[in-house]
Amino acid sequence: MAIQYKTLDQIKVMRRAGLLVGQTLEMLRTSVKVGMRTDALDAIAAANIKRGGGTSNFKGYHGFPATICVSINDEIVHGIPGDRVINDGDVVSIDAGAIIDGWHGDAAFSVIAGSVDPQDQKLLDVCEESMWRGIAAGSVGARLSDIGHAIEDYVKSQGKYGILQEYGGHGIGTEMHQEPHVLNFGKRGHGPELTPGLVLAIEPMITRGTHKTKVLADDWTVVSTDKSRGAHFENSYCLLPDGKPFVLTAIDGGRERLGSLGVEISDLIQ
Ligand code: MG
């Protein structure tokens, strides 16, 4: 399958979907509480996506039964919300997406509920920063593998973390998952050159231990084989005709975090 390059007008619609995802995740971030069931988070997301004029791209995706993924501790991604109660100190990873007028947004974050173990906090901080560095490296004129290289390079510089190998980022547009697949590791200088119109979801998934995973009997939940805790951060970003990026699922378009890495965002969209 070929990469779907988007026009500026199409990306403007994708921004509406991305902003709704970003706002929904912000609402979820402030909603996560010790003692709460994970399906309560799902209900909050479903209501907010509906209120924003979107529909869920997760619900029904290959039979996925919920609006968001909620993954706790050694669950890294694709956890199904349900009657599980969030405990003090849990690492809670939430992945959400929405469709507006046929265009998709997809993003994720991890947060700690209640008491914070500094080692868990560092895991989250490293994962999040690696995502921003991946986006910063994925500039116009770079090659696709430069993104994964930047992610791996940063994660490895911070300690002994496992980077998941079987899961990665992806193109996004009129489907949630499009070409190209974006590895979270690798050498620089491989794959297609990045050009305006490209829209990618960048999503490092790392653990405090192994990179090895297995899928639980529910056929969805991805856990680390050594039960080490994981983190997952994701944003969907685009490259625009002025040669600059814009992070569609970040409320500020990525201005602050990309700015801290010396990357200026586009002002072609808001
Ligand atoms: Mg994704």
Q: Report the CATH number that the domain containing residue 26 is assigned in CATH.
A: 3.90.230.10
Four-CA torsion 39, 55, 197, 178, nearest 10 degrees: 60
CA of 128 to the centre of ligand 1 (A): 14
CA of 159 to the centre of ligand 1 (A): 25
User: What pLDDT, on a 0 to 100 scale, did the predictor assign at position 224?
Assistant: 98
CA of 106 to the centre of ligand 1 (A): 5
264 lies in some domain? no
Per residue in 138-176, is it b (16+ CB within 10 Å) or e — as a string?
bbbebbbbbbbbbbbebbeeeeebbbbeebbbbbbbebb
244 lies in some domain? yes
265 lies in some domain? no
2 lies in some domain? no
What is the DSSP annotation of 52-119? TT-B-SSTTGGG--SSEEEEETTEEE-PPPSSPBPPTT-EEEEEEEEEETTEEEEEEEEEE-SSPPHH
SS3 state of residue 234: strand
pTM of the predicted model over 0.95 = yes
267 lies in some domain? no
pLDDT tens sequence for the chain (270 residues): 799 999 999 999 999 999 999 999 999 999 999 999 999 999 999 999 999 999 999 999 999 999 999 999 999 999 999 999 999 999 999 999 999 999 999 999 999 999 999 999 999 999 999 999 999 999 999 999 999 999 999 999 999 999 999 999 999 999 999 999 999 999 999 999 999 999 999 999 999 999 999 999 999 999 999 999 999 999 999 999 999 999 999 999 999 999 999 999 999 999
CA of 151 to the centre of ligand 1 (A): 16
CA of 76 to the centre of ligand 1 (A): 13
User: What pLDDT, on a 0 to 100 scale, did the predictor assign at position 1?
Assistant: 73
44 lies in some domain? yes
Four-CA torsion 26, 23, 259, 178, nearest 10 degrees: 110
CB 78 within 8 A of CB 71: yes
57 lies in some domain? yes
How many domains are contained in the chain?
Answer: 1
CB 231 within 8 A of CB 3: no
What is the residue range of 180's domain? Answer: 8-259
114 lies in some domain? yes
